[in-house]
Amino acid sequence: MSGYKTLLYIPLFLTIFPLFAQNHWDDYISEKQEGSTYQLFGDNVNLREADNLKANVKKKLSIGSVVTILTKTNQITEQDSVKEYWYKVKSGTDIGYIWGGLIADYSFPLEEGNTILCKNLGVKLRKIELKLIQGDKLISQAQWEVGPVSNETWKHNIYPRERFSPSPKFLFALTYLVFSEIEYGYTNEQLITISPDQKLISQFSWNPGACDPPSCAESWLVFPNESLEQDPKTQRQLTKGKKNTIQELTHSFDIEDSNFHEYYKTEYIWDGNSFQKKDTK
């Protein structure tokens, strides 16, 4: 299965990371991968001769500009509660230094020449920030509090906006890893729309799967005109798609008791601007 095709099934993502002790994330600083390319989250960014704010500026770079990470330095700077390393980077033929807080952690293209830039604002702020750009022009931006986020598992899904009426300009989801207080990290997916006036709007978030043995759970999304087939083994019944509705079906089970299976459903009903939550049994 891929994308939203065939049952709109989001694979079980039992993201159980035996990370460290409780509050292990307190000193966590997100890092960029050496040898990887990233887009700039800030605009009019200074490419400096050294890894500090007093170093001479070699060049100014626009938002969305692509840089390649050469090395991470040992220099850390904190600005507005965002703490990040400095990096030696390459921009075109130029080599210099940029503070990591000005570099997007993740980015992906949308249609019509649009790009989404994603930024982890750190475990102190517990927020992510998104920017919508076209070329080197900022169109809109928004922040949401989501918890202490790691940079390990960024992904995205583009969902079928044409299944909803009136359709949003875009419908997509951002997947990220959230540190947990019970020594695990879990994957969260946040659905986001872009309105006709190009505003970024957070709709709802869901967890594809989690496990704190013996209790575990898995969830699926079912979009209009799709269906999730029955599964007699786990007592799952057929779930048919509904008009203008995203259904989230959650299966709770006990890995020590094969007879225990419980299901509940949440519906998110599209009203033209937002998905209104409705819990059903």
pLDDT at residue 1, as a whole number: 31
pLDDT at residue 18, as a whole number: 43
pLDDT at residue 167, as a whole number: 96
Output the 3-class SS for the chain: CCCCCCCCCCCCCCCCCCCCCCCHHHHCCCCCCCCCEEEECCCCEEEECCCCCCCCEEEEECCCCEEEEEEEEEEEEEECCEEEEEEEEEECCEEEEEEHHHECCEEEECCCCEEEEEEECCCCCCEEEEEEEECCEEEEEEEEECCCEEEEEEEEEECCHHHCCCCCCEEEEEEEEEECCCCCEEEEEEEEEECCCCCEEEEEEECCEEEECCEEEEEEEECCCCEECCEHHHCECCEECCCCEEEEEEEEEECCEEEEEEEEEEEEEECCCCEEEEEEC
Question: What's this model's pTM, rounded to 2 decimal places?
Answer: 0.89
What's domain 31-102's architecture?
A: Roll (2.30)
pLDDT in tens, the chain (281 residues): 333 333 333 333 334 344 444 467 888 999 999 999 999 999 999 999 999 999 999 999 999 999 999 999 999 999 999 999 999 999 999 999 999 999 999 999 999 999 999 999 999 999 999 999 999 999 999 999 999 999 988 999 999 999 999 999 999 999 999 998 765 688 999 999 999 999 999 999 999 988 888 999 999 999 999 999 999 999 999 999 999 999 999 999 999 999 999 999 999 999 999 999 998 76
